[in-house]
Amino acid sequence: MKKKIGISLFAVLFVAIAMMGTVAYFSKSFKSDSNRATAASFEVEAVNAQGKVIGDAQFDLDEKLYPGMKPAEVYSFSINKNNTEVPVQYKVNLSPSGDLFPADGSTPIKLTMQRNMNGNWTDIDYNSEFKPEATAESFRISVEWPHGNNDIAFQGKTGNIKLEVVATQIDAEEEQGEPQPEPEDPNAVRSTAQITLYKDSTSSSNFIDFTNITNFKLKNKNTRREYTVGTTPGGQKHVYKMNEIPVGEYTIHFDTPAGMSVKEIQLGEAYKETIYNPDSNPLVITNKPNYVKIVLKSELTLKEIKPLEDLTVPANIKMNDFLAALPKQATIVDSANQEHQVDLKWDVRPFVFNDWKKPGSYSIWSEFFKLPVNVSSDPSQRLEVKLNINFQ
């Protein structure tokens, strides 16, 4: 039996205090009354997915929480630096409490908070403190209920999630910035890295051109040096091969197209891949060939493949004319109810065509077609379309 559980989200916003005189921050002194002092701007704000400043709010899941529930995003927010002119750091605290989240940690509910770092949604601790790396820092919170042995004990219970976001000015000397790159060692052992770009999965049918991402670079975690130069070997537009990369640990950086995000980044040879994490599992360049597989996902998903109209042809039609009569495109509909045309290919062998009895009716399926880059197949569907043929 499914039991509804309400979850309240309390967002405690920023406290930014600017005092003049005895406190060093925003302090100025002048010898003449004719001098004008202007305080620096401090305009940090946190906004929800609708762009409104967050405050006490309540949300309900579209469905009741129940054992076996898959992860569901329940809240998202951004911290915007805006025109803030002073060094600043953020602190984000997520504090679950109540009967649903007892202090002994026995709750079957799993809360996950993630921060978007270089296009990757990365899990972060409930209590995180950091300096902003971008004008807008994005976060999301998801809830999951894996099957457990004590699920029944939590039916009907409720809990609270307190979200506290604090932006604090820091001293200028505290904001050191990234260290300058070290000089490159001319004697360093060097190797290659081959990066392949996909959409939705690492199936070969899901290759997409590497030009779909921009500002790609590998950054050495030790020397801080960045590497960007590569080529597309043999006309393989989905592959980016980088040579002369010194061995060592690297983080991966790039910009995704609008409306797309990183699903995952895999490292290693086929069947030996691991999931990239800039902190716990970076890209390690060794003296052997190194492989990276980037998988993107679009916000728009495939909603419908519209059926093709039946094809009627003369019974005595020649095969070349028959192939020319086959439809070249099909129509799909995405999750925003927008229509797109996709190209079709057909594989009709001569012996099959000759074996068909004419007059007669038959059905064939197209080869797998490619979706537009800005549309994903999630959940995965067979990207093919059926055609009914009537020989008359």
Rounded Cα distance, 314 and 373, in Å: 38
The confidence score (pLDDT) of residue 324 equals 96
Range scoring the smallest mean pLDDT among 137-141, 158-162, 329-333 = 158-162
Q: Which residues of 208-226 are buried (b: 16+ CB within 10 A; e: fewer)?
A: bebebbeebebbbeebebe
Enumerate the domain spans of the chain. 7-174, 190-298, 301-391
Range scoring the smallest mean pLDDT among 63-77, 151-165, 310-324, 331-345 = 63-77
Mean pLDDT for the chain overall: 82
Cα dihedral 19→22→28→34 (10° resolution): 100
- β-strands 159-169, 88-97: how paired? antiparallel
Q: How confident is the model at residue 34 (pLDDT cuts 50, 70, 90)?
A: very low
Evaluate if residue 15 carries a pLDDT over 60. no
More confident residue, 244 or 105: 244
pLDDT, tens digit, for every residue of 282-332?
Answer: 999 999 999 999 999 998 999 999 999 999 999 999 999 999 999 999 999
Domain 190-298 has CATH 2.60.40.10: yes
* DSSP assignments along 364-392, one per residue: EEPPPPPPPTTEE-SS------EEEEEE-
Q: What is the DSSP letter of 274?
A: E
Evaluate if residue 138 carries a pLDDT over 50. yes
With CA atoms as reference, report the closest residue to 75 among 140, 122, 124, 12: 140
Evaluate if residue 185 carries a pLDDT over 70. yes
The confidence score (pLDDT) of residue 30 equals 41
